[in-house]
Amino acid sequence: MPLNIVVCVKQVADPDYFNEITIDPASGRIRREKVPSILNPMDENALEEALRIRERFSGKVTTVSMGPPQAKEVLDWALILGADEAILLCDKAFAGADSLATAYALAGAIEKLGEVALVLCGNAAADGDTHQVGPQLAELLGMPHATYVRQIDFKDDETLTLTRAIEYGHLTIEMGLPALVAVLAEINVPRQPTAEGIMTLLEKEYKEWQADDIGVPAANLGLDGSPTRVAGMYEQKIERRQKVLTGTPEEMVKAVIAELRNEGLL
Ligand code: FAD
């Protein structure tokens, strides 16, 4: 049962360096020059799951990313890890996209690819973290979807059995293919790159598509297609008052309780 699987991958700022991100007080823009970019961690789990499914059933794994030219780095990484093909959606027309416009662009690309049995996404991107792209994409593709998935099994050639994390437990659900599944980090441990993966990178298929290539109306893409707007940005300043108490431990405890009552906190 060969399966065509698409994995949506996003280049994100490395969460280990989030403390280096600042806001330019003059322009209000985010400054992240010192922050390296990586493949969104949960997308690496989605890719790993796709590679395991391909190893079991055969088929093809295609990775798709919408982003600036440097997003090619994460697609190269995915090809090194074992994806068969990578597509970068790169065009000024995509700039300023919110999650809905991102989903429109990805949907256009996936429809252009033709018959796709399974679309895998990360549950969330480490930076934007809206968790919206997967479900919106499924809706646009007319596919059922499941989020928070921590295990994917196949009941038969046409039906998935999914384990979905919920508060205090999990749900087991069945879902017909084609479907979109958004996975959690706990679903697997992604593989490490191999020398063979690096050597075969240049033999793999890499494509760049612009807005005209995916047949999505301009009104649905980029800033024009984005119903959300960033209304403002500010750096949160946390100011602390300090008070040093003196006396015996009993006196200090009494003073703390009085102070907290005074502030309406007790
Ligand atoms: P989530 O929904 O949390 O991601 C879930 C999964 O969807 C990911 O794990 C991945 O599998 C998939 N996915 C998400 N994004 C992509 C992608 N781009 N390619 C492939 N797969 C993906 N960001 C910019 O970088 N530049 C901008 O100019 C910009 N302008 C914005 C303007 C507005 C008004 C708003 C609201 C946001 C803007 N953003 C911009 C942020 C951008 O919209 C989000 O990063 C993007 O929509 C994805 O949302 P998310 O990061 O919350 O992804």
Domains and CATH numbers, the chain: 3-220 (3.40.50.620)
pLDDT tens string 28-63: 777 888 899 999 999 999 999 999 999 999 999 999
Return the SS3 of 181: strand
Q: Is the CB of 136 under 6 A from ligand 1?
A: no
Ranges under pLDDT 50 in the chain = none
Provide the sign of the torsion angle of the four alpha carbons 4, 103, 96, 126, taken in this order. negative
- Token pair listed for 186: 């706990």
pLDDT score at 34: 83
Pairing of the two strands 3-8 and 59-66: parallel
Distance between Cα 91 and ligand 1 center (Å): 15
Q: Distance between CA atoms of 30 and 23, rounded to whole angstroms?
A: 5
In terms of Cα–Cα distance, which of 99, 109, 124 is closest to 62? 109
Mutate to test the pocket of ligand 1, among 7, 9, 10 (most ligand atoms within 8 A of CB): 10
Q: What local confidence, expressed as pLDDT, does residue 231 receive? A: 83
From residue 211, give the alpha-carbon distance in Å to each of 64, 147, 170, 220.
14, 28, 40, 11
- pLDDT in the model for residue 173: 97
The CA 262 to ligand 1 mean position distance, Å, reads 45
Ligand 1 pocket, mutate which of 99, 147, 233 (most atoms under 8 A from CB): 99
Say what the pLDDT of residue 55 is: 97
Q: Residue 238: what pLDDT? A: 82
Round to whole Å and give the CA distance between 3 and 5. 6
Q: Is 96 in the pocket of ligand 1 (CB under 6 A)?
A: yes
Does residue 105's CB lie within 6 angstroms of at least one atom of ligand 1?
Answer: no
**DSSP-H helix ranges across the chain:** 41-57, 72-81, 99-113, 133-141, 195-199, 211-214, 249-262
For ligand 1, whether the C-beta of 11 sits within 6 Å is: no
| Residues 170 and 146 sit within 8 Å (Cβ to Cβ) | no
Return phi, psi of residue 89, to 5°.
-90, 105
> Cα(93) to centroid of ligand 1, in Å?
15
Judge if the beta carbon of residue 61 lies within 6 A of ligand 1: no
226 lines ligand 1 (CB under 6 A): yes
Does the CB atom of residue 63 touch ligand 1 within 6 A? no
Q: Let me know if 243 is exposed, middle or buried by CB neighbors in 10 A (0-12, 13-18, 19+).
A: exposed
User: Which are the contacts of 238, defined by CB distance < 8 A and separation ≥ 6?
Assistant: none
List CB contacts of 188: < 8 A, sequence separation 6 or more.
45, 48, 49, 52
Whole-number Å distance, alpha carbon 72 to ligand 1 midpoint, is 16
Q: What is the CA radius of gyration of the chain?
A: 23
Other residues' Cβ atoms within 10 Å of the Cβ of residue 138: 23
Taking the model in full, what pTM does it have?
0.89
Ligand 1 atom 37, closest CA? 98
CA proximity to 65, closest of 100, 102, 16, 95? 102
